[in-house]
Structure 1
Amino acid sequence: MNIVGVDIGGTFTDLVGYVGGHIVTSKTSTVPADPTKGIATSLDLAGCETGSVDELLHGSTIAINTVLERKGARTALLTTTGFRDVYAIGRSNRIEAFNLFFERPEPLMPRDLTFEVRERILATGEVLEPLDEKTLDEAVAWVDGMGVEAVAVCLLHAYVNPEHERRIGAALRQRRPDLFITLSHEILREYREYERTSTTVLNAFVGPRVGGYLRRLDGYLRDASFGGKVHIMRSNGGVMSLRLAQEQPVSMMESGPVAGMIGAGRLSKLLGLERCVGFDMGGTTAKSSLLTGGAPVIETGYVIGDKATGQPMQLPVVDIVEVGAGGGSIAWVDKTGGLHVGPKSVGADPGPACYGKGSADPVVTDADLLLGRINPRRFLNGGMALDVEAARRAMQEKVAGPLALSVPQAAHGVVRIADAAMSLSVRAVSVNKGVDPRDTAMIAFGGAGPLHAISIAREIFIPTVVIPKLPGTFSALGMLMASWRQDFVQTLIGRVGDLQASHAEEVFAELAAAGRDQLTRDGIDPATADFRYYADLRYVGQEHAISIPVESAALLTGEARTVRDRFDREHDKRYGQSAPSETMEVVSLRLVLTAARSDSLAEQWLSQPWTPDSDAGTEHRDVVFDDPERPVKTQILWRNALKAGARIVGPAVIEEPNSTILIHPDDEVRVTDAGHLVVTLKY
């Protein structure tokens, strides 16, 4: 079986495939104007015949970038009369209490593109006011005249009774089949009006752009004689069909970064590491996620962008903290003489100054090059020669000159600031969650991750850093390990033990039916499917709930001791206390439906014995570590020449085709039998 994973990032497009019984890789610049060109190039560089590929798995940043750049479709919102401003008002909480310039999230669409429809459904699902046919006709005509590309429909309590939304959707689709229509109940059947509205608008906002890209991708693959399956990586750590991705593009917001964390989780289990931090540094951003028992945490609430001003999305997402610091992050000096790095990035075009494409902005990659940490002749396996003088000029003009520093001092300052910014994301998934970093290990990947990981780990006292095989394309490798997954949710509010049995069983049946329908639509063999149910539980009076496994409705409607014990234990684990005497209530039921991959080729490769394929000798060059005026003579090693069991004591730079690993003085590296590098830090 030939499978290929392609990850399109803001700077590079990465490919890892298992073709003809061998792992193949490639890394090429992303083409922002048409990302499919980057895919075509990556397939050519890897020597993959498109027609021989059985499955292509794909992740992309196009959805999340569309939101962050606010370059989505002109979108209209239809909602219940009297609730026009739910989306604009949002929540009353002030996340940054001491920020005098605090701002609320700005809606993705102006208020004048919101239309109220006369209807009203109660939280019980009963119809209080029928859908007014005249208002429905007016809404369709209004949409017709507003020049919009997409429409989001989110009616009050449609999560429990979607009949009115269905009628509005049918009328719109009949009148304007060219529009991208999103009905809230098709995306999310869960209460919380603001988050449900925001999620629906997000889907409509990115739909035309993402859908257009996915259609171009499908067209390119079919023209290239591709006859296999296309699966799109989704934010919950699973994959979905191309068709479903076109309908629910909001589900692929974090599709690229999530894949790397899935791969890091698999590797942590192989190495027997109970708790790890996955760290991924690419060209545009750096991402961190806490992995426990080989799995990342899945959150049902997420914010696209800054936590205070970003766009809420109420869908299951792997808990990833992202900061705008990557290899392409721009270094700049403000009016008061302060040095900053990011969040703006040069992206793939023009890229860092050292790429020689005319950029005059110094970035983190330029700084690493000037500090001797990157080999200008071996970048991308020698496929892209770097211009050291261009990097020097940019650093001198934009940073060193204005701050009266030498170029090495400026470059060192840029790297230190970037490392400090990235360490915040690692702290956010460890220290901020009550996890002692000294009890964890870090698994570092991404094109720039292994270059900065040890500095970041040292800053928060993580004792061990693991650099996997193929770190520069590790997210693409992670895609080859992802299972098909679909999440379903249905709000069901009531006291545990007092719920009406028939009502609870009805919701369980609805979730199961929705799951079986999705299996059929995506052509998944039901025999491979795993149905797992969860109940969102809380003590009465609490705002937020915890998902607890439940096997049947009987656990919620009859004797509740089993589910109560589970909830009390989990509450104590998370918050350090529980209240066994308090009354519990359920707010939602969930179904997590997965289908295991028919192969485990990528996971098997992670543990395959390592065999060097090169006998390159050791070189030396000066590299700056702590003192920019005193570079250290450092051994330069080629990773593909290292033997299993080899031990190296820093300082060292270990180079490989798509990444570079910086080993600090006195730190010790061990090559495992499978070829992964385990670095023990000396404090």
Structure 2
Amino acid sequence: MNQVGVDIGGTFTDLVGYRAGELLLAKTLTTPANPTQGVATALELAGTQLAELDEFLHGSTMAINTVLERKGAATALITTEGFRDVYEIGRGNRPDAFDIHFQRPQPLIPRDLRFEVRERLNAKGEVLTRLDEDAVRGLGAELVAQGIESVAICFLHAYANPQHELAAGRILREAYPDLFVTLSHEILREFREYERTSTTALNAYVGPRVRRYLQTLKSHLDERGFRGGIQIMRSNGGSMSLSHAAVEPVSMMESGPVAGMIGAGHVAKLLGIRQAIGFDMGGTTAKATLITEGIPAIEDGYYIGGYATGQPMQLPVVSIVEVGTGGGSIAWRDKAGGLHVGPQSAGAAPGPVCYSRGGVEPTITDANVVLGRLNPGRFLGGGMALDVEGAKGALAKYVGEGLDLSVNEAAMGVVRIADSAMALAVRAVSVRKGVDPRDTAMIAFGGAGPVHAAALCKEIYIPTLVIPKLPGNFSAMGMLLAPWRQDLVRTLVGVLGQLDQQAVLAAFDELTAAAKRQLAEDELDEDKARFDFAVDLRYRGQEHSITVPLAGPDALSHTNTAMRERFDELHDQRYGHSAAGEIIEVVNLRLTATVSRGDAIGSFISAPFEAEAAREEQVREVIFDDPERPLTARILWRPALAPGFTVEGPAVIEEPHSTTVIFPGDVARITEHGHMVVSIKLPEGNQP
């Protein structure tokens, strides 16, 4: 199969693909005003035509940026009478009890656009008050007259019985076909009205903008002769069809970042690494996640914009901690003169000062150029010359002069502040989850990830660093490894061992039927699909639950001893204790349907590596720790390093789309598969 994966980030657009067994690679600046232009440029650089491809996989930050920038559609919310303020009241928890300036999350839909209609079901899904359909019709006319583009409908107990949501949706969709209508049960059949309302509102808020973007992308591909299938990366580490993404864009909030973590999981499994920390640093942000047994951690819940003030999304998401420190993150001083880095980014336009595209404020990339860690003549494989003097001037003006620092000291200060911020993200996915970093390895990728990874390992005491093949295009590569995936959930509350077995089987049958309908809509072979069943359990009296895998849909009808033991074990792992004698409740039933993608890229990751013709080794003055004492470092070209090659730092290993910095005392080795494994010389103390 001929296929490509394209990841459009805030700064660069990356492409990895296969055509007739030939590997395709490209990296180009993103075009913020027209992201599809970056796709066209990447395809041109890769020397391929869309008509030659069978499948196009795509990840984008469009959905999440729409939320973070609050540039979504004019959106209204329709809910059950008496519950319009659930969305704003939210939860009573206070993330920072000592912050006197703390502000609650601000809803995406203001109160004057939240409306109530008469309807009521009980928690069993039984009708107490029928839906006032005339009120829905009148409300639809009023909303359209106000210029509303999108409507979120979330009734109180629609997770148990969606009939009122279906009726309201049918009325609005038939009368106003241009209105983007989101029904909560179509996104999430799970209780917790606040999180379900927020998830539905998120989908409605980003829907019109993302749908237009996907339509533009499809038109662009069609016009250039593409006749294959289009798959969009989901936040859960799988993919979905473009048509599905157009109606459920909330599922692609983290579509770009998670793809690289899927690839990192494959590398970890190949190298026999039980626990790894995936680290991705691009041009705009840096991301980290914990990978166990080759599988990135997935959580059923996520906050767009951070836990304290973000928007909750109750969907399965690869657990990623993200910070605003990418290569283009801007260094700036506050009113008191303190130095900060990010989260503001120069992005692709104008970009860092050294890009010579109009940027004036110094960035992390500018600092790395000044420190000698990036080669001005080899950036993007030599496709973009970097302006070292421009970078020095910006650092001197905006950082050095105000703090009485030399240019080198200013550059080192910027890098160290960025490293500290990224170290917090790495700690958040390891130390805060009870995982000792000393027992893990870091797998670093992204254009800037290998530049900073060794310094992070030293700070957090991670002994082993892995830089996979093609790190600068790794997220795009991960898309070609991601399976088609659909996660479905149904709330069913009861005591384990006392459930109505017919109700359980009927619920699982409903989930399976829904998965098969989606397979058919996406033109996938049902026989090639894998169906994994699970159940959410909790001790009676608890609020939150833990997901426990099931052998099959009828597993709850068998003896529950093994399931109880497994839940106790998982509870102890997560919270440090268990209560074996307590009553266990079932909360939700789950089904995950997956269809594996072709293994061409998987084979590439594990294939024996053949080095290209040797290149002459260079040397360069590079600053590692002391800004006034640069060291003479060996400069090596990675594609020419054969398996078994080792080098001890100080060294810089360059390749077309990324650069790896090897500190003094660190030892890098090329594996038989072409991945780079670096043994980190840890500082004294050995404390994470």
Bin of the TM-score, shorter chain as denominator length: over 0.9
The yes-or-no answer on 1:370 pairing with 2:357 is no
Deviation at 1:110, TM superposition (A): 1.1
**Deviations 1:491-523, CA, capped at 9 Å, x for gaps:** 001111111122112111111111111111111
Identify the range of structure 1 (558-567 vs 613-622) with the bigger mean alpha-carbon deviation. Answer: 558-567
Question: Distance in 2 between the 1:34 and 1:265 partners?
Answer: 32
Residues 556 and 309 of structure 1, relative CA distance in 2, 3 Å threshold: same
Paired residue for 1:454?
A: 454
| Partner secondary structure for residue 532 of structure 1 | strand
Paired residue for 2:325?
A: 325
Paired residue for 2:125?
A: 125
Deviation at 1:314, TM superposition (A): 0.3
The yes-or-no answer on 1:58 pairing with 2:96 is no
Q: Trace 1:165-184 onto structure 2 (pairs within 5 A).
A: 165-184=165-184
**Deviations 1:271-298, CA, capped at 9 Å, x for gaps:** 1111100000001100001000000111
2:238 touches 2:483 (CA, 8 Å); kept in 1?
Answer: yes
Deviation at 1:103, TM superposition (A): 1.1
Deviation at 1:614, TM superposition (A): 3.0
Paired residue for 1:116?
A: 116
Q: Quick one: which amino acid aligns to residue 88 of structure 1?
A: E
| Partner secondary structure for residue 481 of structure 1 | coil
| Partner secondary structure for residue 585 of structure 2 | strand
2:533 touches 2:549 (CA, 8 Å); kept in 1?
Answer: yes
Deviation at 1:138, TM superposition (A): 2.4
| Partner secondary structure for residue 91 of structure 1 | coil
Paired residue for 1:606?
A: 605
The yes-or-no answer on 1:576 pairing with 2:576 is yes
The yes-or-no answer on 1:659 pairing with 2:663 is no
Question: Distance in 2 between the 1:564 and 1:84 partners?
Answer: 39
Q: Trace 1:98-497 onto structure 2 (pairs within 5 A).
A: 98-497=98-497
**Deviations 1:104-162, CA, capped at 9 Å, x for gaps:** 11111211111111111111101111112332222222222221111101111111111
**Deviations 1:384-417, CA, capped at 9 Å, x for gaps:** 1111121111111111111111111000000000
Question: Distance in 2 between the 1:142 and 1:315 partners?
Answer: 31
Question: Distance in 2 between the 1:8 and 1:358 partners?
Answer: 22
Question: Distance in 2 between the 1:135 and 1:552 partners?
Answer: 44
**Deviations 1:13-58, CA, capped at 9 Å, x for gaps:** 0001111212111100101111110000000000111100111111
Question: Distance in 2 between the 1:530 and 1:486 partners?
Answer: 11
The yes-or-no answer on 1:9 pairing with 2:9 is yes
1:555 touches 1:563 (CA, 8 Å); kept in 2?
Answer: no
1:498 touches 1:557 (CA, 8 Å); kept in 2?
Answer: no
Q: Quick one: which amino acid aligns to residue 565 of structure 1?
A: E
Question: Distance in 2 between the 1:190 and 1:667 partners?
Answer: 49
Q: Trace 1:20-31 onto structure 2 (pairs within 5 A).
A: 20-31=20-31
| Partner secondary structure for residue 633 of structure 1 | strand
| Partner secondary structure for residue 178 of structure 2 | coil
The yes-or-no answer on 1:94 pairing with 2:84 is no
Question: Distance in 2 between the 1:49 and 1:83 partners?
Answer: 53
Question: Distance in 2 between the 1:531 and 1:615 partners?
Answer: 48
Question: Distance in 1 between the 2:607 and 2:166 partners?
Answer: 52
Question: Distance in 2 between the 1:471 and 1:7 partners?
Answer: 13
Deviation at 1:554, TM superposition (A): 4.5
| Partner secondary structure for residue 314 of structure 1 | strand
Question: Distance in 1 between the 2:163 and 2:78 partners?
Answer: 15
Q: Quick one: which amino acid aligns to residue 680 of structure 2?
A: L
Q: Which runs of 5+ in 2 are unaligned?
A: 683-688
| Partner secondary structure for residue 300 of structure 1 | strand
Question: Distance in 2 between the 1:95 and 1:82 partners?
Answer: 27
Question: Distance in 2 between the 1:356 and 1:429 partners?
Answer: 36
**What TM-score does the superposition give when structure 2 sets the normalisation length?**
0.98
Paired residue for 1:681?
A: 680
2:133 touches 2:168 (CA, 8 Å); kept in 1?
Answer: no
Question: Distance in 1 between the 2:309 and 2:66 partners?
Answer: 16
Question: Distance in 1 between the 2:74 and 2:666 partners?
Answer: 54
| Partner secondary structure for residue 315 of structure 2 | coil
2:533 touches 2:553 (CA, 8 Å); kept in 1?
Answer: no
Question: Distance in 2 between the 1:497 and 1:512 partners?
Answer: 22
Question: Distance in 2 between the 1:471 and 1:508 partners?
Answer: 41
Question: Distance in 1 between the 2:485 and 2:554 partners?
Answer: 26
**Deviations 1:662-681, CA, capped at 9 Å, x for gaps:** 00001101111111110001
Q: Quick one: which amino acid aligns to residue 158 of structure 1?
A: A
Question: Distance in 2 between the 1:554 and 1:626 partners?
Answer: 60
1:43 touches 1:49 (CA, 8 Å); kept in 2?
Answer: yes
**Deviations 1:230-276, CA, capped at 9 Å, x for gaps:** 11110000010010000100000001110000000001111111110
Question: Distance in 1 between the 2:212 and 2:284 partners?
Answer: 24
Q: Quick one: which amino acid aligns to residue 613 of structure 1?
A: E
Paired residue for 2:565?
A: 565
| Partner secondary structure for residue 580 of structure 2 | coil
Deviation at 1:611, TM superposition (A): 1.4
Identify the range of structure 1 (504-513 vs 287-296) with the bigger mean alpha-carbon deviation. Answer: 504-513
Paired residue for 2:685?
A: none
Paired residue for 1:41?
A: 41
Paired residue for 1:524?
A: 524
Paired residue for 1:618?
A: 617
Paired residue for 1:650?
A: 649
**Deviations 1:587-626, CA, capped at 9 Å, x for gaps:** 11000001122x2110110111111213211111111111
Q: Quick one: which amino acid aligns to residue 220 of structure 2?
A: Y
**Deviations 1:51-79, CA, capped at 9 Å, x for gaps:** 00111111001111111111111101001
Question: Distance in 2 between the 1:79 and 1:306 partners?
Answer: 26
Deviation at 1:480, TM superposition (A): 0.7
Identify the range of structure 1 (134-143 vs 282-291) with the bigger mean alpha-carbon deviation. Answer: 134-143
Question: Distance in 2 between the 1:633 and 1:554 partners?
Answer: 66
Question: Distance in 1 between the 2:19 and 2:401 partners?
Answer: 51
Question: Distance in 2 between the 1:496 and 1:471 partners?
Answer: 46
Q: Quick one: which amino acid aligns to residue 523 of structure 1?
A: E
Percent identical across equivalent pairs? 60
Q: Quick one: which amino acid aligns to residue 38 of structure 1?
A: G
1:501 touches 1:553 (CA, 8 Å); kept in 2?
Answer: no
| Partner secondary structure for residue 571 of structure 1 | helix
**Deviations 1:150-177, CA, capped at 9 Å, x for gaps:** 1101111111111111111111111111
Question: Distance in 2 between the 1:553 and 1:241 partners?
Answer: 26
| Partner secondary structure for residue 136 of structure 1 | helix
Q: Quick one: which amino acid aligns to residue 358 of structure 1?
A: G
Q: Quick one: which amino acid aligns to residue 635 of structure 1?
A: R
Question: Distance in 2 between the 1:506 and 1:97 partners?
Answer: 45
Q: Which runs of 5+ in 1 are unaligned?
A: none
Paired residue for 2:686?
A: none
Deviation at 1:555, TM superposition (A): 3.6
The yes-or-no answer on 1:535 pairing with 2:538 is no
Question: Distance in 2 between the 1:635 and 1:241 partners?
Answer: 47
| Partner secondary structure for residue 312 of structure 1 | strand
Q: Quick one: which amino acid aligns to residue 678 of structure 1?
A: V
| Partner secondary structure for residue 265 of structure 1 | helix
**What TM-score does the superposition give when structure 1 sets the normalisation length?**
0.99
Paired residue for 1:84?
A: 84
Question: Distance in 2 between the 1:28 and 1:137 partners?
Answer: 49
1:53 touches 1:228 (CA, 8 Å); kept in 2?
Answer: yes
